[in-house]
Amino acid sequence: MDVKRRNTPSYLHWLFCQFELITCSYLMEPWEKVLFYSFNLAMAGLLLYTAYVCVAFHLSSALQLLWSFLANPRENALSVVK
């Protein structure tokens, strides 16, 4: 594969064809494809939303923990955990 082909529309089309072949949506009738893709997009959307909400929160609390360690290195670790 040429590196030049990376972001051309034909490469994206080829990638989409590979997705169709792997998930067998190549074989489905149009209404089945609509159903399948909408299900997939809904799942992907949910995943992204969950990632956005939860990961940000977990990352910020983890960073907070880290700062408190660095600020007071001699404190007993157990007192920091809430």
Partner 1 sequence: INHIVHNGGLYKRPFNEAFEETPMLVAVLTYVGYGVLTLFGYLRDFMRQWKIEKCQNATEREEQKDFVPLYQDFENFYNRNLYMRIRDSWNRPICSVPGAKVDMMERVSHDYNWTFTYTGRVIKDIINMGSYNYLGFAQKAGACQEAAAKVLSQYGAGVCSTRQEMGNLDKHEELEKLVARFLGVESAMAYGMGFATNSMNIPALVGKGCLILSDELNHASLVLGARLSGATIRIFKHNNMQSLEKLLKDAIVHGQPRTRRPWKKILILVEGIYSMEGSIVRLPEVIALKKKYKSYLYLDEAHSIGALGPSGRGVVEYFGLSPEDVDVMMGTFTKSFGAAGGYIGGKKELIDYLRTYSHSAAYATSMSPPVVEQIITSVKCIMGEDGTTIGRARVQQLAENTRYFRRRLKEMGFIIYGNEDSPVVPLMLYMPAKIGAFGREMLKRNIGVVVVGFPATPIIESRARFCLSAAHTKEMLDTALKEINEVGDLLQLKYSRRRLVPLLDRPFDETTYEETED
Q: Kindly state whether residue 29 participates in binding partner 1, applying the rule CB under 8 A.
A: yes
Residue 61 near residue 53, CB atoms below 8 Å: no
Q: Kindly state whether residue 28 participates in binding partner 1, applying the rule CB under 8 A.
A: yes
- Please choose, out of 13-21, 41-49, 50-58, 66-74, the segment that lies near partner 1 by the rule CB under 8 A: 13-21
Q: Kindly state whether residue 34 participates in binding partner 1, applying the rule CB under 8 A.
A: no
Q: Kindly state whether residue 25 participates in binding partner 1, applying the rule CB under 8 A.
A: yes
State the DSSP string of 3-47. Answer: SGGGGSHHHHHHHHHHHHHHTTGGGS-HHHHHHHHHHHHHHHHHH
Q: Kindly state whether residue 11 participates in binding partner 1, applying the rule CB under 8 A.
A: no
